[in-house]
Every structure is written in C-alpha cells, then in structure tokens.
Amino acid sequence: MDMNGTEVLPGISYKRLYEAILETVPFSIFILDANLKVLEANRNFLKKSRQHAKDVLGRRIEEVFPRVFSESTDLIGKVQNSFSDGDCVREGKLTYKAPGIAATVYYYLVIPLLEEGARPSLVMLLLEDITEKERLGAEVRSAWRHWASAVESVTDIIFSATPDGTIQTWNKAAEEISGYKPRALRGIKVMSLCVDESEVEKMERAFRALALGAPQRDLQIDLRDSKGQRLPVSWSFSALRDDTGHLSGIVAVGRDLTERKRMEAQLIQTAKMAAMGVMAGGIAHEIRNPLAVSSSAAQLLLDDHGDGQFRKEAAQKIYTNIAQASRIIENLLRFARPSSGAFEVFPLEASLDEIVSLVSNQLILSQITLVKRYGKQSLRVRGIKNLLQQVFLNITLNAVNAMREGGGELLVATRCKTGGERRSVLVSFTDQGCGIPRENLSRIFDPFFTTQPVGQGTGLGLSVSYSIVKQMGGCIHVTSEVGSGSTFEVELPLEP
Ligand SMILES: Nc1ncnc2c1ncn2[C@@H]1O[C@H](COP(=O)(O)OP(=O)(O)O)[C@@H](O)[C@H]1O
Ligand SMILES: [Mg+2]
C-alpha cells in the first residue's frame, strides 16, 4: 500500500508530514533493518554527532555510535531482542559515561514496526538526551528539600497563602506556637485566626498594601491560638508574583512575641516601682495632711459638748478629708497594680488628673506651679489606661527633676489634632527646667540612659513610656532648649 501521495491534511502528504516531523524533533530517530543497518537517521542525530548522512546510512548501528557507547550500554541488545521477539521498550533510560566526559542520560524507545502477523522487519529507535532535564529536576528537588527543611526547622511561624489569605502551607513552628494543625487549616483564611476585628483589619490592610507593592515588615498582629489565648506576633509579609508580575501568593514570617511581651511587662513594672519610690515621700505627705485635719476635727468633737452646727461642720471635715486620703490611696493602688493589658476607652483628662494628684505635693515642695490647659471638650482615647498613666507620671516626674533647681511652671495641655487622615489627641507637658542638650536628644529613649546621679535615675522611664505609647498606636515628640525647658508631647489615636 503506497500512501506517499495520499493527502493527510489538505495539501500535505504523509511523506511530507513524516519528513517534517523527523527533521524537526529535538531527539534522534533511527530506522534499522534486521541486520541492524541504519536505513534512516534524522537531522538531530547527524547534527549532534557531527556526521554526514552518507557516512551513516547503510552502516551498522554500532559503527554509527561511538564504540564506548555500544560497549557500555545494552542498547544494541535491546534492539536485537526487538527483532527476535518483537519486544518493545517504551520508557527506557540509560546513562552513558565516556572516560573524561560528564555522564549523559538518555531516554530511549525501541519500537518494532510490525508487518501484520510477521516478525518485525524494521525497528524504530529513538534517543533523547535528558541530561540537562535530569540535572534541573535534581536541582529543583534538592532546592525544594533544602527550603522545606529550613522552613520546618526555624522557630518562626511561616505560612503561605493565596492573595485573599487562604492558608496553603503552615510550618512546624506555626503548629507548635499556635496549636493549630496544618490539616485543620486547609481552606481557612488566616484572618479568621486573628484575635479580634481590629487585628483582622490590620491583616487585610497589610495584604492590600502588599498587592500594591509596599513591603510589609514588623507589623504586630495578634492571633488567637487553639486554646483561645491571645498570641502576639510580629509579622513580615512578602509577595509571590508570577511571570507577569501578578500577585499569586503571600509568604508570611511571624515571630512569637509572648516572651518579649512578658519581659517588657516586667520592665514596665520595674520602672513603675522605681517611679513610685520617687513619689513615696510626696504621697506620704499627701495622706498625712487630710489625716491631720481629720484628727484635729475629731479632737474638737471630743472636747465640744453642745453646739449642733459646730459638731456637724467638724464631722463634715472629717468625712471629706478621709475621703480625700482614701482617694489618694485608691489612685496609688490602682496605679501600682500590674496592668491587665486590656484596651479600653477612657476619658483622657480625668486620668491625667488622677496622676497629677499623686504628685501635687511634690510639685508644691519643688516650687512648681501646675497649669492645666485642657481642651473645651473632654477627650476619649483608646488604650491601656494604667500604662498610659504611667507614661504621664514618668514625664511629669522628669519635668519635676528638670526644675529641681529654682522651680517654675509645668504646663499640661490637651488638644485634638484633626489634620491629616487620622484624628489624634495630643497631651503635652512643658517645663521650664534645665533642657536637654542636643547630643542627648537621640538617646533619652534608650533603656538605662540617665543623666541623674547613680542611685536616683534608672533610665527606664522614657524607654518604657515610648514602648507603651507605641503599643497604643501613638508616638512621643520632644522639643527642648538647654536653659529654658522642654516639651514632651504624647500623640494618641482618638476614639471616634
Ligand atoms: N523634662 C526633661 N528635661 C530635661 N531632661 C530630661 C527631661 N526628661 C528626660 N530628660 C533626660 O532624659 C533622661 C532619661 O529619662 P528617663 O528615661 O525618665 O530616666 P531617668 O528619669 O531615670 O533618668 C534623664 O536622665 C534626663 O537626662
Ligand atoms: Mg524618669
């Protein structure tokens, strides 16, 4: 049956198609007869082996291949089997190593071309050099193994997710820290692990910014662990992009802040105790005063025998003074307690007053006049009240220190800042103290930086204040002039 002239597609004969395929495929094809003579060898082979068709066609296959190749592989045997038994090899793989040359890996096929019912009279041999593919495959596998073992052995949380936050992988550290098994998280959005709505918002904002190309580093977003506990985590997010630059996924690395938070809380408590030590003298005085007043009023009551109006006034005096003393003690105790760490919305001015009342005596003793300039409207802020009061106290005590020689005026002012995209409140403390030399300005927030004599300053006040305010999404600005005074301004997000 001659099909050479038959058209397989309009205008294309079998022969043309056959030749075209043979000449363009990127592997070597041979047609061999039963004497293993080469009847056909395609262009790929001639090119790779740098031989001419006339030197190849009609020669036996083992003469066409390098001798070492024929001797070191059993390819020829496979071809012979194919003639004798009609064996067919579909997915052969062989490695050929000539002396002094790197090993080459081939994928091969031996296909007997059967005439109906008869023994094969021709065999097609196909060889493809897959050395490079194998090398790449091995490289990819090894890179993947390295990467996977790194991801599994780090102590940080690492997860990958689709751009909408659906979790794809979740490493061992993530499992250990959060308590969630990767299996349980399949198809779940990472936002659903955030501890509350505001954290969900932060995560979504970070993902959106990442999609627009803004790097996202050191963001604290807290999760809820499998036991329902708050898990503070500092995150860095990176974008995975496909070849067109499109965001195809997100990789997140998160550091568990639990231990750091615990240390921070301890430091805050230490600084608080130090501040209380500084205040103790003033507070004792503060309490002794109303007690003395009450005591003498009580004495008068004991002595007096008749006048009802007089007795009433004395009792009233005792009552208000004791109330005053117990208010001070209450304020002090509330302040001394370690903070619960819970965010709440509270009136700013009232909590400032509580703190200022604790130091009012100290101010009088240091000949400092307190001037309050609060805004018309009472402001409400969101934060951890107890910690924020500690900030106010630290700054106030620093101002008292700075005005130790000669006293002066301490101005405490609050105002609302509406410019910009976020509304905030500003609480400023302006003293007329010694001021801060320029070279110290950048160091006053460093832990343990102090210019106070040994035994008096801890150098913790401002560093602790800074971390507290930062935790509440705010910041502290300082301006100062040596000899005339300083202003510390605390900026906090305003509760809408
Ligand atoms: N209002 C201020 N006026 C002048 N110097 C200040 C003022 N507040 C802070 N400082 C400087 O910053 C340093 C660090 O303050 P702080 O962290 O509170 O530690 P400490 O009060 O224990 O020294 C102080 O020692 C002082 O030098
Ligand atoms: Mg201080």
For ligand 2, the distance from its centroid to the CA atom of residue 289, given in whole angstroms, is 27
Q: What is the pLDDT of residue 285?
A: 80
422: pLDDT strictly greater than 80: no
Global confidence as pTM: 0.64
CATH number for the domain harbouring residue 302:
3.30.565.10
Determine contact, residues 252/157, Cβ cutoff 8 Å. yes
227 and 288 both lie in a single domain:
no
Q: Mean pLDDT over residues 115-134, rounded? A: 85
Q: How far apart are CA 444 and CA 493, in angstroms?
A: 24
Main-chain dihedrals φ then ψ at residue 374, nearest 5 degrees: -90, 150
pLDDT in tens, 162-180: 999 999 999 999 999 999 9
Read off the CATH number of the domain in which 166 is found. 3.30.450.20
Q: Are residues 161 and 301 in the same domain?
A: no
Buried b (16+ CB within 10 A) or exposed e, 66-104: eeebbeebebbebbbbbbeeeeebeebebebeeeeeeeb
**Residue 322 pLDDT > 90:** yes
DSSP helix, strand, coil percent of the chain (3-state; round to 5)? 45, 25, 30
Please give the distance, rounded to the nearest whole angstrom, from the Cα atom of residue 10 to the centre of ligand 2: 93
Q: Residue 242: is its pLDDT beyond 80?
A: yes
Over residues 219-228, the pLDDT tens digits come to 999 999 999 9
Q: How does pLDDT run across 100-117, given as a tens digit for each residue?
A: 888 899 999 999 887 666
Cβ(207)–Cβ(220) below 8 Å: no
Do both 188 and 275 map to the same domain? no
CA pair distance 99, 206, nearest whole angstrom:
58
Residues 425 and 283 in one domain: yes
Residue nearest to atom 8 of ligand 1 (CA): 398
Whether residue 113 is found in the same domain as residue 164? no
Residues 277, 343 within the same domain = yes
For the cut 70, the answer to whether the pLDDT of residue 67 exceeds it is yes
What's the confidence (pLDDT) of residue 419? 74
Residues 421 and 449 reside in one and the same domain: yes
Closest ligand, as measured to the CA of 399: 1
* Length of the chain (residues): 496
CB neighbour class for 407 (10 Å; exposed up to 12, middle 13-18, buried from 19)? middle
Q: 222, 256, 290 — which closes off a domain?
A: 256
Maximum distance among all Cα pairs of the chain, rounded to whole angstroms: 144
Q: What residue's CA is closest to ligand 1, atom 7?
A: 398
Give the nearest ligand 1 atom to 395 CA.
Answer: 8
Nearest CA to ligand 1 atom 5: 436
CA dist., res. 128 & res. 76, Å (int)? 16
**Do 234 and 103 have their domain in common?**
no
**pLDDT confidence of residue 72:** 84
Clarify whether residues 171 and 314 are in a common domain. Answer: no
**CA 457 to ligand 1: nearest atom:** 22
- State the number of CA atoms in the 13 A half-sphere of 349 facing the CB: 12
**Consecutive H or E run containing 47:** helix 43-49
What is the rounded end-to-end Cα distance, in angstroms, of the chain? 90
* Mean pLDDT, rounded, for 299-307: 81
Assess if residue 145 is contained within a domain. no
Q: Which atom of ligand 1 is nearest to 429's Cα? A: 1
Containing domain of residue 242, as a range? 154-256
281 vs 148: which has the higher pLDDT: 148
Report how far Cα 332 is from the mean position of its chain's Cα atoms.
38
Question: Are residue 219 and residue 96 in the same domain, yes or no?
Answer: no
**Same domain, yes or no: 308 and 229:** no
- The answer, yes or no, to whether residue 259 has pLDDT greater than 90, is yes
Task: Report the 10 Å Cβ neighbour count for 56.
Answer: 18
Q: Which two tokens mark 119?
A: 């023994």
CA of 394, closest atom in ligand 1? 18
Q: Write down the pLDDT at residue 1.
A: 46
Ligand 1: residue of 410, 431, 445, 462 to mutate (most ligand atoms within 8 A of CB) is 462
Is the distance from CB of 125 to CB of 29 less than 8 angstroms? Answer: yes
> How many structural domains does the chain have?
3
Cα dihedral sign for 314, 320, 323, 325?
negative
Return the SS3 of 190.
helix
pLDDT-derived band of residue 5, with 50, 70 and 90 as boundaries?
A: low
**Which of 390, 444, 458, 476 is the best mutation target for the ligand 1 pocket, counting ligand atoms within 8 Å of the beta carbon and taking the most?**
444
Task: Give tens-digit pLDDT for 455-489.
Answer: 788 899 999 999 999 888 899 999 999 999 999 99
Nearest CA to 254 out of 277, 237, 272 is that of 237
